[in-house]
Amino acid sequence: MNKVKLLALTALLSATALISSCSATAEECDPSVELNVFSKAACKFSGSYDQRIEQKEKILLNEQETNKKFRQIYADIQAQQKSVNQSISQKKAQQAKLTKSLNSLTRDLKQKAKGRSDLQAQIAEVEKQLNGVNNSSASEVEKQVQLQALQQKLGQLQKTLGL
């Protein structure tokens, strides 16, 4: 009878393991959670461990792809920032060159307009505006437009002087 009981018990355990193995899902088969022997067997025999590995690998690949996209976006932003910084420095250099040219032209006009108080007053006004533009908090583009307008005024004064 002991043999029969042992055989019946073995058959019962095998049937239980077989039924358990069919019912295990990948979510239930988390290796970080302590499982009993039957649950571990169920996870192994049902392929849930393999399914879980495949799911995690898909998630990992997806996250790696997303990370790659973010790195590309970051690189694009850095390239744009570098371009903007270069553009600003180029505009500042153009502005400095224009300011230098205007200062030189103003000095020349002052010397040639000696004795003509009306023209000297206009030149002084242009100088005042030039200093105002250089000390203003306007954008580089706005400053450049204002400097070009002052350059035109000086050009008109040049014509008045017959130069």
pLDDT digits (tens, 9 = 90+) for 65-105: 989 998 998 888 888 888 777 777 787 787 788 778 878 87
Find the domain containing 124 and state its range.
47-161
Taking the C-alpha atoms of residue 114 and residue 163, their distance in angstroms, rounded to an integer, is: 14
Count of positions (residues) in the chain: 163
Q: Can you list the pairs that 26-32 forms with residues at least 24 positions away whose Cβ atoms lie under 8 Å?
A: 26/51, 26/52, 26/55, 27/52
Domain membership of residue 27 (yes or no) is no
Q: Which of 22-31, 130-139, 147-156 has the lowest mean pLDDT?
A: 22-31
Domain membership of residue 9 (yes or no) is no
Domain count, the chain: 1
Domain membership of residue 33 (yes or no) is no
Domain membership of residue 13 (yes or no) is no
For residues 24 and 36, the answer to whether their CB atoms sit within 8 Å is no
Q: Whole-model pTM? A: 0.46
Identity of the residue numbered 63: E
Domain membership of residue 32 (yes or no) is no
Domain membership of residue 114 (yes or no) is yes
Domain membership of residue 42 (yes or no) is no
Domain membership of residue 129 (yes or no) is yes
